[in-house]
Amino acid sequence: MTEKLIVERRGNIALLTMNNPPANTWTEESLKGLKALVEELNADRSIYSLVITGQGEKFFSAGADLNLFADGDRSVARDMARYFGEAFETLSHFRGVSIAAINGFAMGGGLEVALACDIRIAEEQSQMALPEAKVGLLPCAGGTQNLTMLVGEGWTKRMILCGERIKAAKAQEIGLVEEVVPQGQALEKALELAANVAQQSPTSVTACKQLIQNNRTHHWDAGYILERELFVDLFFTEDQKEGVNAFLGKRAPEWKNR
């Protein structure tokens, strides 16, 4: 698909490594590749989770290459904003569970790709920032919206409007990441969580994720109604029958994702 993204399948887990040294920056090629990859994984019933990490030990991702914007070309800006938005929005709507294994600096679009994931695991030496305003830009790949949903307006404004860079411990304290692990262990922990996903019914996980993210755009009352509807919809799936009967039969379920 692109050499800037290395994809490995480990059973029901897809492992994606951003591979554009030295800082794993995003390009038109890699953004289009990410969008295509997630769409491919959505169609692959054997994949239940996606883990994303960065190549090397220093950077998870530094976001966009600022050389792209040096001459002030608005057409380039418009195109790159669209590529970033489409890629990360597609990631956010991945059918399964996406986990960011943050193994270093996550800056700008590098943090935004983590924000588009369901869960974030950060190594203790990691640092995170959305510093776009320092160079006359703004986070255009979901940063202003997704960060606010995670940590609230106060910390979002500190990070974006005041340009505050935070370390992993603070990120966990404010709810930006779910767990902090020692250096070199983010991928291991992310893969452990992804293995836990495989124990759940993949059709149930897809429905539950839809419900959890539903309140981003709809009122709670609509979510209560949708919850009941999707509960009944699961009874049209093979996994519902398999899950209940496996439990009653005291055996491990064999999911088919249908």
**Residues belonging to the active site:** 112, 132
Q: Three-class SS of residue 159?
A: helix
Alpha-carbon gap, residue 32 to 34, rounded angstroms: 5
Strand order through the sheet with 59-61: 59-61, 105-107, 127-129, 166-167
Alpha-carbon gap, residue 18 to 194, rounded angstroms: 18
Is residue 129 within 8 A of residue 166, CB to CB? The reply is yes
Alpha-carbon gap, residue 102 to 124, rounded angstroms: 9
Q: Three-class SS of residue 227?
A: helix
- Give the number of other Cβ atoms within 10 Å of residue 218's Cβ: 12
How many CA atoms lie less than 13 Å away from 46 in the CB half-sphere?
Answer: 4
Cα 117 to Cα 92, 113, 173, distances in angstroms: 6, 7, 18
Q: Three-class SS of residue 181?
A: strand
β-strands 59-61, 5-10 pairing: unpaired
Alpha-carbon gap, residue 150 to 192, rounded angstroms: 23
Distance from chain centroid for Cα 56 = 19
